[in-house]
Structure 1
Amino acid sequence: MEKSKVFALQFAKVYPMYVRKAEAKGRTKAELDAVIEWLTGYDATALQQQIDRGNSLETFFAQARLNPNATKITGVICGHRVEAIDDPLMQKIRWLDKLVDELAKGKAMEKIQRK
């Protein structure tokens, strides 16, 4: 998938996939939302507004208040080291993917949230 197509994806289309992935591994939607809130600063109301508005991933991250500890997210997602991704928006998208993967793999919330 081209980068521009990824950036244009609606968060509302991606979010249910994250929920399914987390729940399939015994985690809850509330835990997923906590991870998203930690990364983006969106509380439950703001997250729902992003979904209701049909915002693209580009808009979703442009309006987010990223956690300063997000730069501590490291590792491999989709065959790429997240800390080595050059495009800032793609890196943010992959940070979220990495956090969702960690949640689904049973990692403790304190470790996911890089406190």
Structure 2
Amino acid sequence: MNQHKIFTMPFASVYPHYVKKAERKGRTKSEVDHVIFWLTGYNKEQLDIVLTEKTNFETFFKNAPQLNPNVSKITGVICGHRDEDIEDPLMQKIRYLDKLIDELAKGKPMEKILRS
């Protein structure tokens, strides 16, 4: 899938997959939301609006209240690419979220996922 398709894809179309992935591994929707809130600065009401309005990934990240200042601590490989080496800022943010959801699904403690 090319980047433009990912950027214009509604966040709401991927969100259930994040939740399902986490729940299959014994984690909760609430934990998925917590990770999203940590990364983006959104709160529950704002996330609900994003999901209802079918906001695309580009707008989701562009309108994020505040990217977490510890985002640079998210390192590693996701989808075959090192997070810190991804040049497109939007794709990097999408991969950061993918990485956090993967860590959640793998059972990492929340304090490690949130780089506390």
Structure 2 equivalent of residue 12 of structure 1:
12
- The answer to whether 1:112 aligns with 2:103 is no
Structure 1 equivalent of residue 22 of structure 2:
22
CA distance in 1, matches of 2:5, 2:17: 17
Structure 2 equivalent of residue 86 of structure 1:
87
1:58 shift after superposition: 0.2
Residues 66-110 of structure 1: CA deviation (Å, up to 9, x unaligned): 001011100000000001000000000000000000000000000
CA distance in 1, matches of 2:10, 2:101: 17
Structure 2 equivalent of residue 38 of structure 1:
38
In the alignment, residue 72 of structure 1 is paired with which amino acid? K
Compute the RMSD of aligned alpha carbons. 0.5
Query: Helix, strand or coil: the match of 2:15?
Result: helix
Q: How many equivalent residue pairs?
A: 115
Residues 20-50 of structure 1: CA deviation (Å, up to 9, x unaligned): 0000000000011000000001111111110
Q: Percent identity?
A: 63
Structure 1 equivalent of residue 50 of structure 2:
50
Query: Helix, strand or coil: the match of 1:54?
Result: coil
Runs ≥4 residues deviating over 6 A: none
Structure 1 equivalent of residue 102 of structure 2:
101
Structure 2 equivalent of residue 62 of structure 1:
62
| TM-score in terms of structure 2 length | 0.98
Unaligned runs of 5+ in 1: none
Query: Helix, strand or coil: the match of 2:87?
Result: coil
| TM-score in terms of structure 1 length | 0.99
